[in-house]
Chain A
Amino acid sequence: MQRYVLKRVAQGIIVLFVVTIIIFVLGQLSGAPVDLMTRHFSTPEVSEQLRERWGLDESLPVQYWRFISGIARGDFGESVRYGQPALEVWLTYLPNTLILATAAMSIVLIISIPTGILSAIRVGGWFDKFAKIFAIMGQSMPEYWLGLMLILAFSIHLGWLPTSGMGTFQQLLMPAFTLSYYFIASLTRLTRSTMLDVLDSDYIKMARIKGVPENLVIVKHAFKNALVSILSLLGVMIISLPTTSVITEVVFRWPGIGRLLVNAALERDFPLVRTCFLLISVGYIVASIVADILYAYVDPRIRYK
């Protein structure tokens, strides 16, 4: 077990290094950030000064080393737009994304699992057909378009919900639902097929023969066994939710780190872009490692691969 943990963590660290290298290399390739950021200044002297100040006239490995050691110290550079340390800006917006992700997660759980189970129990019935259509649509629809259609329906036509912003429960509802839609589709499909497989197995037949009431058969025996597969997908979802919230945040103007990244990208605020990207990747990779370790703990077969 320990070996697996070490292996996994080492792997994660390598990935993180690669990420920093990618960011660094691309930042260099895309043309001197100085020129883009100082387009307003016409004097070459100012550009030269800025270049020196940001250490852009030094050799590449040196620059990379500065980059890395800065990160280790917690210095991610200063955001051009906000004038504050990029890290601070990011941390300010982080909780908002977490709120959104948590809300979306809850919605996914509340909707998918009962729907999947019910679909499996009444295979081929109208509920099942409806659920299947819902699921397939979910995997074919662009997230931002769904958000826009929801806004069109519920804000513009019905006037029930506000279109954007954060703060009230109503404002949370549509973004959370939009974010969760894709995952609802996946999880419902998975729950349904896992339940179907399990319901077909011998021990279920045994329970029925024994005379166990159907409710108990489904919940206590079938579902518990289906839970294992479901949990693995759930883990993947928890990890990816904060990262996939980017699009939803943009559509609903939700002040989270995803939207921060996009705005920074559009304004060419390189320090902030790099910081957001780095930190989101770090979070994602750390969460993946934790999830993998948990699976290895639960399912011993994984450790020996």
Chain B
Amino acid sequence: MEQDYWRFVERFSPEDLNELMRQYGQEVWNYAYFLTKRKDWADDIAQETFLKVFRSPNRYRGESSMQTWLFAITRNCAFNYRRSAFLRRVIPVGQPERPGREPSAEAVAMGNQLADEIWETVMALPAKYRELLVLDAKYEMSLKEMAELTGLPVGTVKSRLSRARRKAAEMWEGGGVHERA
């Protein structure tokens, strides 16, 4: 579906939502994962993002790409989600524990599911570097787009990004991914 189509959608129908998820769902999920490093959080954040898009009266106006617009909402959801996370930690939930949900088992399984070893390095970077590196390398965003999305001055984006690259290169070429954030 053409990017332009979305500009003229006054309100998303369930079919639009489906199409949107089909086109951008995986990247929204990925972005949520890059922000949080948690698969279960990424699941919930991706869900929140699309429900918000569906329910919100603020429609897409075509001022940025559809993906960047969705990323901005994802980012917002992720920070809200993280803020409320501490509440969850203190409530006894009685939720069934599933085998393999423990972080250690998950960490082990994770390494085996990654598409490329480079992700081990990227995911080991501190969050502020990781996000910018991914937006640059994977999504090829311009400095301006990154600045708008993250709310940072362009200069800060630029300097953080070059630090992110340097750190990643050191870790990647040194073969070490121990410097966990």
The answer to whether A and B come from one shared complex is no
Residues on A lying within 8 angstroms of B by beta carbon are none
Residues on B lying within 8 angstroms of A by beta carbon are none
